[in-house]
Amino acid sequence: MTNKTLLNEYIYTLLIEEGLDGFTVLCLRDELLKISGEFNDVVEARKFLYRHLLQLEQKGLLETKGQGRKKTYHKSELFKTTEFKPKRRKSQKIEAVKRSHNKTLSLDELVWERRKYEAELAIALAEIEEFQLLSERLPSQKSSLLRLSEETREKSVRYLAKINVLNQALKLSNYVDIKC
């Protein structure tokens, strides 16, 4: 019996149609830039991929080997037995609870914003870990790397604060986030 899972159309193209396996984030980013004109910024493309790879890893569909820039992603046995379908990107149409002259946000927009900050927080935490690993490997750069790590930690605190505020706002409105 196979599982059916929706996969972002770009991730689907790279992992299923092109059959990539045993890749790094940077290698996958370069491939993404070849097939898509959507990403003008390599950093945004890397973040986009990292978010999706992290989700696939958490679901047990991808396994990792190594650390830092040498970290490679490999398809798991579960990945090989799962049936994937490409998920077409939705246009930016979101119905607002109230659309008036003051541009009231919809609850869906708040949930989307919260998910964006959760992904940014995950990236920031991974960067902190990488800075600390690098500071151990490069003792001569330790103070600079720890300073960068501290700046990223402060950024992660801001993301967490935003997530908490959005959660509280969603609780006030009795919003139920249905996850499939």
CA-wise closest residue to 53 among 10, 4, 93:
10
Tell me, what's the pLDDT at 101?
A: 34
Tell me, what's the pLDDT at 88?
A: 75
Give the CATH number, domain containing residue 66.
1.10.10.10
Do 24 and 52 fall within a single domain? yes
End-of-domain residue from the set 56, 87, 118: 87
Do 111 and 168 fall within a single domain? yes
Find the domain containing 147 and state its range: 107-177
Do 27 and 66 fall within a single domain? yes
Do 71 and 126 fall within a single domain? no
Between β-strands 3-8 and 72-75, what pairing exists: parallel, antiparallel or unpaired? Answer: unpaired
In a domain, 125, yes or no: yes
Tell me, what's the pLDDT at 99?
A: 37
**Counted domains in the chain:** 2
In a domain, 169, yes or no: yes
In a domain, 24, yes or no: yes
Quote the pTM value. 0.48
Tell me, what's the pLDDT at 68?
A: 83
In a domain, 50, yes or no: yes
> pLDDT digit string (tens) for 10-27?
999 899 988 999 999 989
Do 75 and 136 fall within a single domain? no
Do 57 and 118 fall within a single domain? no
Do 15 and 77 fall within a single domain? yes
In a domain, 93, yes or no: no
Which stretches of the chain drop beneath a pLDDT of 70?
A: 1-3, 89-105, 175-180
Do 31 and 77 fall within a single domain? yes
Tell me, what's the pLDDT at 177?
A: 55
Tell me, what's the pLDDT at 90?
A: 52
